[in-house]
Structure 1
Amino acid sequence: MSNPGTSNSSPIENRAQLVEVLERGCKPKSEWKIGTEHEKFGFVLPGQADGREPLSPPPYAPQGIGAILKDIEGDDWAGVYDGDALIGLAGRNAQKGRSFSLEPAGQLELSGAPLVSLHDTQKEMEEHFDLVKSASSKLGLGFLPFGFQPLWPRDAMPWMPKSRYGIMRKYMPKVGTLGLDMMTRTCTVQVNLDFSDEADMARKMRVSLALQPLATAIFANSPFVEGKTNGYQSNRARIWLDTDNERAGQPFLFFQEDFSFEKYVDWVLDVPMYFVSRDGKYIDASGCSFRKWLNGESQSALDGLIPTIGDFEDHITTAFPDVRLKQFLEMRGADAGRPEMMVGQSAFWVGLLYDPATLVEVEKLVKEQPWEVYQQLRSDVPQKGMHADFPGGLKALAKRVVALAEQGLRARVRNEASFLDPIHLIADGGPNQAEYWRALYEGAWGGNVKPLFKEASI
């Protein structure tokens, strides 16, 4: 989850202002960029002489996540603070447009800069991993990009000193059984992409929301829970089935032909609130209605506060549909994984969505099935992965979709199609990451998940 930013304190006077927040994202095709965000679990490297348990998740302090951030803070990375706690880094100079942020249990996230090509995405990821390894190795720590914490139970996970997470931690058990697992034991990779206008946004939303379960299956990378397999390929995706369904999933509204910025605003206004921020402090507004707040209806946590544009922008970040609309579209359906798979996910969506002719073909393909089929697929793929039921077979769908993604990349004439190579292997029937690791666990590793931390770490 992103770091706090500069809040727009302008009072909300009409609904058009809220629509305009989203409309500001419209860009001509020549200005479309690629943003990639990825998270990873910290762990104590084996062989530390200070008695720390090998592979255990590091705390914020001492010798933990806070110290990593402090080591990196400097000319190119400005510290972001929550009170006295360093909880993120904002890039400047050569790193402008990038940021580090902390997920609730110390999962370290890079929010990448908007970049022109997938070659830039790959370079950014490699440089980020080198920077993190340099800082973390001094502390005897490593990092594992994986969809779900493979070894440790929830009560072994630390909590970071971010005020908003304290509010969410209290609220999550009220709206689902697995929200605290989502906060502490999941990691994702996210691709952020642009749109030209409202119609382009709506088409990309329909296509990407329908295909998000396919992406979950292709990029599934979390078959372990507390050191054992439990029959799921993406435990991260399983967690999202019962986290907070009022703000997550595939809202049917998003599939409709008349979907628009205004309809998204209407939907997000009815997503229950978490908090508002005033004078650098978070006020617990969990469960309150933003719509009622706008209408002047009394809600004790919000009484005396005037809703601002910044409040609405913050509220948008607390909605978690599988594709989230801000001033770009966020693809949110994949597990964190091997670097080539995370770059491959960016390639997958860029190929499908950034060539207009290809996008038309993808939409036609998607519309061969009713939207309900894709909603059911979302429920099935966490366990079955590429073997989930789908009319004509999910692997057949994958081959068609990946072929279109390659077509879209070749139309960009940037020599990017090779980034899809590992995705082609899976679409052609090869194992996804979850199946690959599970085979090692059941074979060479002898039922021991601990070698994963060496084999899959950055």
Structure 2
Amino acid sequence: MSSPSHAADTPITVRDQLIQSLAKGEKPRADWRIGTEHEKFGFRLDDLRPPTYEGERGIEAMLHGLVRFGWEPVQENGHVIALLRDGASVSLEPAGQLELSGAALQTIHQTCVETGTHLDEVAQVAGELQLGFLGMGFQPKWARDDMPWMPKGRYRIMRAYMPRVGKLGLDMMTRTSTVQVNLDFASEADMVRKFRVSLALQPVATALFADSPFTEGKPNGFQSYRSHIWTDTDAARTGMLDFVFEDGFGYERYVDYLLDVPMYFSYRKGQYIDASGQSFRDFLDGRLPALPGELPTMRDWSDHMTTAFPEVRLKQYLEMRGADSGPWSRICALPAFWVGLLYDDAALDAAWDLVRDFSVAERHALRDGAPRHGLKLPFRNGTLLDLAREALEISVAGLRRRAERNADGQDESHFLDVLQEIVDSGKSAADRKLELFHGPWQGNIDRVFSEFAY
């Protein structure tokens, strides 16, 4: 989840400013970039508990330890809550999940180097603190009450608001981790086409990257329990956004959606002002109860955009939000999958042909069924695995045509090998962990921390 926006405090005087803020994301193809984000769970090596913020082995100590690698600390009310370096950031999710928000890079090769460098730095500091880090979609062992809370103002407001709008919002905050990729568009029409393709295929990513089959040490009956949690978090700011597929969709329609998303807060003078459940439309009219008589700025709008959590989110780029976190190889595979589909014209055409006739009911059936059934979900005359296989073939071809090669002459398609193995076997990471749990682990979930930590 985002830290305070760095957008200018320009007053919003006309609604068109909001529309233009999205249009400013348009870039020529030569300037398209790849931004990859991933989260991971920390745990203490001796008792496997998640570290608190404070203490000699806490998350604060972890952040201070990373400063040696050239990261610049960011503070909120005297607490280090993020680190910045070369266009990237390390930040904290609500229960201390450590997030790398990567820089905007040209190739998957660069993304994978960035990710590997970060994980190596984390491992060095974590080893000194007797901590470990695990990439999965959902905390496999600990209950919600066992999870610590980080000292960030927006989380205090969200923590109080979440139980009013869904049963699983606090689990989303404290017990989930994801990997996502942020991608560019050339024009409004290009944005619309990419938005529709990625939204329709987001359940494929959920199934391919499914890695959250345990809750509190036991199988939970899901492939991606993380994905399921979003279905009962807050219906006003989550979901499949059916209007994206309607005629006339564009920046203006997305602005209307955001204006109907209830607010969480306004960030003023270094403090988060609780505006939970209030209307940004009222804010535009100077009638926000939390700040009576005040008008919003573009910084307020930028912050507000980060509080919508659909399966694909539009800012000045498109965010793919459907995947569980995982090991280094799958962190690299997610941007590769979507770049292959969306950054090559022939691939984007083929992907649109694949999904263009999906009905509203079919899109929702995929979204609702993928978390539990994964690749085995029945779809049309086959399963979601068949759809995943076709999408992966299109992505591989797209990356090969991109022909971005590393020093060894490899193009980016080899980053999809881990997904090809999943498609060929029909077994997700969740399936393989369940096999271990029922087999060699003999029902002991603690083994996941020793065998799958970074």
Smaller-chain TM-score bracket: over 0.9
Q: Deviations over 1:65-109 (max 9, x none)?
A: 001111122572111111101000111xxxx11001100000000
Residues 403-441 of structure 1 show CA distances to partners (whole Å, capped at 9, x for unaligned) of 000111011012111111111122224311000101000
Matches within 5 A, 1:120-135: 120-135=110-125
Selected match of 1:77 from 58, 71, 80: 71
Q: Is the 8 A contact 1:190 1:330 kept in 2?
A: yes
| Native 8 Å contact 2:22 2:316 kept in 1 | yes
Q: Tell me the equivalent position of 2:220.
A: 230
Q: Name 1:25's counterpart in structure 2.
A: 25
Per-residue deviation, 1:16: 1.1
Q: Is the 8 A contact 1:395 1:428 kept in 2?
A: no
- Residue deviations 1:160-182, cap 9 Å, x none? 00011000000000000000000
State how many pairs are aligned. Answer: 446
| In structure 2, C-alpha distance between the alignment counterparts of 1:206 and 1:193, rounded to whole Å | 14
Tell me which of 239, 244, 269 is aligned to 1:249: 239
Partner of 1:89: 83
Query: 1:403–1:436: structure 2 CA closer, same or farther, 3 Å change rule?
Result: same
Equivalent residue number for residue 51 of structure 1? none
SS class of match (1:428): helix
Structure 2: 5+ residue stretches without partners: 405-410
Please tell me whether residue 359 in structure 1 is matched to residue 348 in structure 2: yes
Deviations 1:290-335 (A, max 9, x none): 0122133x34212132211110000000000110001110000000
Whole-angstrom CA distance in 2 between matches of 1:295 and 1:305? 9
8 Å contact from structure 1 (residues 216, 234) kept in 2: yes
Q: Is the 8 A contact 1:3 1:80 kept in 2?
A: no
Match of 2:180 among 172, 186, 190: 190
Q: Which structure 2 residues correspond to residues 16-415 of structure 1 after superposition, within 5 A?
A: 16-46=16-46, 54-62=47-55, 63-73=57-67, 76-91=70-85, 96-296=86-286, 298-393=287-382, 394-414=384-404, 415=411
Question: Which amino acid letter does the alignment assign opposite residue 20 of structure 1?
Answer: Q
Percent identical: 52
TM-score normalised to structure 1 length: 0.96
Task: Report Cα offsets for 1:202-224 as digits up to 9, x if no partner.
Answer: 00000000100111011000000
TM-score after normalising by structure 2:
0.97
Cα distance in 2 between the residues matched to 1:288 and 1:380: 32
Question: Is the 2:207–2:371 contact (alpha carbons within 8 Å) kept by the matching residues of 1?
Answer: yes
Checking the alignment, whether the CA contact within 8 Å between 1:210 and 1:371 is kept in structure 2 is: no
Residue 345 (structure 1) shift: 1.2
* Contact 2:375/2:426, CA 8 A, preserved across alignment: no
For 1:421-436, what aligned pairs fall within 5 Å after superposition?
421-436=417-432
Q: SS in structure 2 opposite 1:334?
A: strand
Q: Look up the equivalent residue of 1:427 and give its one-letter code.
A: V
For 1:245 and 1:72, locate their aligned partners in 2 and report how far apart those are by CA, in whole Å: 37
* Contact 1:395–1:429 (Cα < 8 Å) also in 2: no
The amino acid that maps onto 1:139 is L
CA distance in 1, matches of 2:378, 2:265: 40
Aligned partner of 2:446 in structure 1 is 450
- SS of 2:378 mapped into structure 1: coil
* Structure 1 letter corresponding to 2:50: P
1:4 is matched with 4
CA RMSD of aligned residues (A): 1.1
Amino acid at match of 2:423: A
The CA distance in 1 between the partners of 2:19 and 2:361, in whole Å, is 28
Letter in 2 for 1:385: G
1:438 to 428, 434, 437: 434
SS of the residue aligned with 1:27?
A: coil
* In 2: Cα distance, 1:389 partner to 1:304 partner: 54
Q: Secondary structure at the match of 1:73?
A: helix
- Matches of 1:207 and 1:235 in 2, distance apart? 24
1:227 aligned partner, one-letter code:
G
Q: What's the offset of the Cα at 1:395?
A: 1.5
The whole-number CA distance in structure 1 between the counterparts of 2:345 and 2:249 is: 19
Label 1:187 to 1:75 Cα distance change in 2 as closer, same or farther (>3 A). Answer: closer
Aligned mates of 1:120, 1:45 — CA distance in 2:
31
SS at match of 1:337: coil
Relative to structure 1, the CA distance from residue 13 to residue 74 in structure 2 (aligned partners, 3 Å threshold; closer, same or farther) is: farther
d(CA) in 1 for partners of 2:5, 2:125: 25
Aligned to 1:49: none
CA distance in 1, matches of 2:119, 2:34: 19
Task: Tell me which residue corresponds to 2:408.
Answer: none
